């Protein structure tokens, strides 16, 4: 993961190649109570965020998210249509958008469902400006940490897969060319240097053709 400056705006490039802002900019709000929605929207605007919505039910929230692709979502846990937990699960699975649940309920089953859906923070109504600010910062930091860890796992998996190709090609040379293991490895590396080809591509060619 690295940070770049894009015309004065800091952006983070994850190991997966996906680019995200260093702080969320567009936040989806889904809340079926008009006064609460208006209050949350006003506070987010005060904090400098662009508000997507507000959506009045779960279906509208999903539709707005797919049309506007927000960085983060703040969702009422109980609203018509798919509830906040279901919407959070959908947004994360389909768009990679993390969510914060906004609710007057903090019972065990509701919290457990939120954890299982991958919710990154939980705000109890009524929420103050400071509580909203803190929840957003915590949720975004957790999201970036998760993306970084996932990128590291993906990179490790990629390296292990590449190592399998190298080992397979090396042992083909050991078997067919009667080379020692170190000599086979050096031969593959020399072929890559001489042809200005990636070692992985050289190994794949050996595996596919059986020739060297």
pLDDT exceeds 70 at position 157:
no
The count of C-alpha atoms lying within 13 angstroms of the C-alpha of 21, restricted to the half-sphere facing its C-beta, is: 14
Q: Tell me the pLDDT tens digit for each residue of 17-47.
A: 556 677 888 999 999 999 999 999 999 999 9
Q: Which CATH architecture has domain 157-209?
A: Orthogonal Bundle (1.10)
pLDDT exceeds 50 at position 86:
yes
Q: How confident is the model at residue 152 (pLDDT cuts 50, 70, 90)?
A: low
> Which residue ranges make up each domain of the chain?
2-152, 157-209
Q: How far apart are CA 169 and CA 203, in angstroms?
A: 5
What phi and psi values does residue 41 have, to the nearest 5 degrees?
-60, -45
**Superfamily grouping for domain 2-152:** Response regulator (3.40.50.2300)
Tokens of 1: 């993961």
Q: How far apart are CA 107 and CA 40, in angstroms?
A: 22
CB atoms within 10 A of CB 187: 18
Give me the mean pLDDT over the 158-177 stretch: 84
* Range with top average pLDDT, 38-52, 68-82, 94-108: 38-52
| Nearest C-alpha neighbor of 2 from the set 135, 40, 16 | 16
Give me the mean pLDDT over the 111-132 stretch: 85
pLDDT exceeds 70 at position 154:
no
Strand ranges (DSSP E) for 22-110? Answer: 26-30, 50-55, 72-76, 99-103
pLDDT exceeds 60 at position 6:
no
How high is the mean pLDDT of the chain?
84
| Nearest C-alpha neighbor of 117 from the set 97, 139, 88 | 88
């Amino acid at each position: 993961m690295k940070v770049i400056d894009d015309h004065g705006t800091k952006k983070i490039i994850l190991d997966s190649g996906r680019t995200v802002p260093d702080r969320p900019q567009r936040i989806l709000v889904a809340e079926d109570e008009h006064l609460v929605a208006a209050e949350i929207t006003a506070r987010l605007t005060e904090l400098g965020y662009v508000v997507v919505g507000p959506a009045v039910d779960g279906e509208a929230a999903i539709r707005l998210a797919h049309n506007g692709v927000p960085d983060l979502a703040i969702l009422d846990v109980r609203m018509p249509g798919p509830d906040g937990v279901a919407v959070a699960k959908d947004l994360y699975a389909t768009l990679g958008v993390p969510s914060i649940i906004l609710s007057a309920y903090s019972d065990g089953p509701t919290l457990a469902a939120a954890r299982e859906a991958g919710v990154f923070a939980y705000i109890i109504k009524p929420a103050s400006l400071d509580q909203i600010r803190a929840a957003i910062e915590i949720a975004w930091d957790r999201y970036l940490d998760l993306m970084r860890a996932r990128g590291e796992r993906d990179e490790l998996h990629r390296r292990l897969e590449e190592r399998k190709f190298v080992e397979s090609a090396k042992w083909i040379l050991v078997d067919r060319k009667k080379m020692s293991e170190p000599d086979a490895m050096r031969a593959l590396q020399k072929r890559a240097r001489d042809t200005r080809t990636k070692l992985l591509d050289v190994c794949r060619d050996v595996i596919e053709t059986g020739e060297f």
